[in-house]
Amino acid sequence: MFPAVPGAWRDAQIHNLLTQGAFMVSAPRDGDRTEYVRVRSLADEPLKPAHSLEGPVTVRRVRVAPGGASPTDRPLSWQDLGDGVIGIDIEKGEDVIVLSAGKASNQDIKPVAISRPTKPWGFVGVLPRPEGPVVPPVDLTAVFDNDGFAQGTPPMNNVTSRGAVIAVPHGQYRGLRLLGACHGGSVGADAAAAYADGTTGTVKISLTDWGRTPAYGEAVAVLTTQRIGTAGPQNFPVRIFHQVVDLDPARELISLKLPNQNYPLMHLFAMSLEGGS
C-alpha cells in the first residue's frame, strides 16, 4: 500500500480503488503508518497484497451491510509469504481486512485534512455554461475498465472505447458533456444511441490524443506536466478534455453504446447530460 506517497503526505486515504485482478481496495494511512487494508474480490483471482503494516498481522472476513457481498462459513485461509506480502484465499464477492495483530479498526474512511495550502490541479478558467438544467453525472462505475495515471492527478478510473453500453436516466436531452481523451491518436467515431421508442441512431464522439492540443474544439479540463509510463515518470504534458456532443432533443434517450475499437483508444472519465426533460 502507498508505495509512492511523498514524504510530506503523512496522512492519506484510498477508498474502493479498483486494482489489477479485479479487487476493490480501501486503506487509510495515518502519520506515515498504514492502519489496515480492506479488499473485496470482484473475481476469482489470487490475492497477494503487500500490506505495508508493521509487525505481525491478522486477516479477518468482513461482514457487510445487507445487499453487499455475502459472508461465508468456510474457513478463512491465508499465509505469510515473507517481505510484507501475504497470500489470502478469497472468492468472488468476499471482503477481507488485513490489520496488525491484536488491533481493532473502526474502518472509517474520510477526507484527509489539508496540512498546508497548495495550488489546485486541473482546469484554470471558465468552461462554457450550459443553457437550462443539467442532470447529475451519469454513473459510469459499472463499465469502468481502465485506470489512468499522470503526475499531479489522482488515479482515475475510466471506460474505454471497447463497445461498452452506458445506461442513462431516460429523458430528452440536447447535449452530452464528456471528460475524456484518446491515446494512440485522435479519434472521431460513432456511438450507438438507443431510444425509448425502440429506434436507434448514431452520436459522433470526437476526442483528441491526450498528448496533443485540442483538435475537435474541446476545452482542456486537466493539464499535467508529466505522465507515468511503465518506466516511471516522463516529462511529457498530457491532457483531459471537456467535449460537448449534440443529441436529438426530440427523442427519449435510454443508452449509449461506445465505439468498439482497439487503437487508437478513447478514455471517458465522466459524463453528464444537458437539458433533460
Q: How far apart are CA 227 and CA 273, in angstroms?
A: 30
User: What pLDDT is attached to residue 122?
Assistant: 60
The arithmetic mean of pLDDT across residues 183-203, rounded, is 94
Q: Residue 277 is placed in which grid cell?
A: 426533460
Give CA 60 to chain center in angstroms. Answer: 26
Whether residue 23 has pLDDT greater than 70: yes
Give CA 121 to chain center in angstroms. Answer: 17
Q: Which residue has the cell 436531452?
A: 173
Whether residue 242 has pLDDT greater than 90: yes
Query: Which amino acid, one-letter code, is at 196?
Result: A
H-helix or E-strand containing 254?
A: strand 252-257
Q: In Å, how far are 174, 216, 258 from 247, measured between CA atoms?
A: 5, 17, 15
The arithmetic mean of pLDDT across residues 129-151, rounded, is 71
Q: 58 and 105 in contact (C-beta within 8 Å)?
A: no
Measure the N-to-C terminal CA separation of the chain; round to a whole number of Å: 45
Handedness of CA 34, 14, 26, 113 (dihedral sign): positive
Pick the CATH number of 141-274 from 3.30.1340, 3.40.50, 2.60.40, 2.60.120: 2.60.120
The band of 210, judged by pLDDT with boundaries at 50, 70 and 90, is: very high
Q: How far apart are CA 64 and CA 272, in angstroms?
A: 31
pTM listed for this prediction: 0.53
More confident residue, 226 or 272: 272
The arithmetic mean of pLDDT across residues 168-177, rounded, is 90
Q: Which of 126, 162, 122, 128 is nearest to 244 (CA)?
A: 128
Q: Which of 48-52, 146-150, 172-176, 194-198 has the lowest mean pLDDT?
A: 146-150
User: What pLDDT is attached to residue 179?
Assistant: 94
38-82 confidence digits (pLDDT tens): 999 998 889 999 998 988 999 988 865 445 554 566 778 999 999
Q: How far apart are CA 180 and CA 55, in angstroms?
A: 43
User: What pLDDT is attached to residue 124?
Assistant: 56
Burial 35-56 (b: 16+ CB within 10 A, else e): bbbbbbbeeeeebebebbbeee
How does the average pLDDT of the chain come out, rounded? 84
User: What pLDDT is attached to residue 62?
Assistant: 83
Pick the CATH number of 12-100 from 2.60.40, 1.10.287, 1.20.1300, 1.10.8: 2.60.40
Burial 137-147 (b: 16+ CB within 10 A, else e): ebebeebbeee
Q: Is the preceding omega at residue 169 within 30 degrees of 0, hence cis? A: no
Q: In Å, how far are 86, 95, 121, 238, 258 from 25, measured between CA atoms?
A: 15, 10, 24, 27, 28
Q: In Å, how far are 22, 39, 61, 157, 173 from 146, measured between CA atoms?
A: 11, 18, 28, 6, 28
- Maximum Cα interatomic distance, the chain, rounded to a whole number of Å: 63
More confident residue, 151 or 170: 170
108-133 confidence digits (pLDDT tens): 777 777 777 766 666 555 555 555 55
Under DSSP, is residue 23 helix (H, G, I), strand (E, B) or coil?
strand
The arithmetic mean of pLDDT across residues 224-240, rounded, is 80
- Parse the chain into domains and list their residue ranges: 12-100, 141-274
User: What pLDDT is attached to residue 106?
Assistant: 66
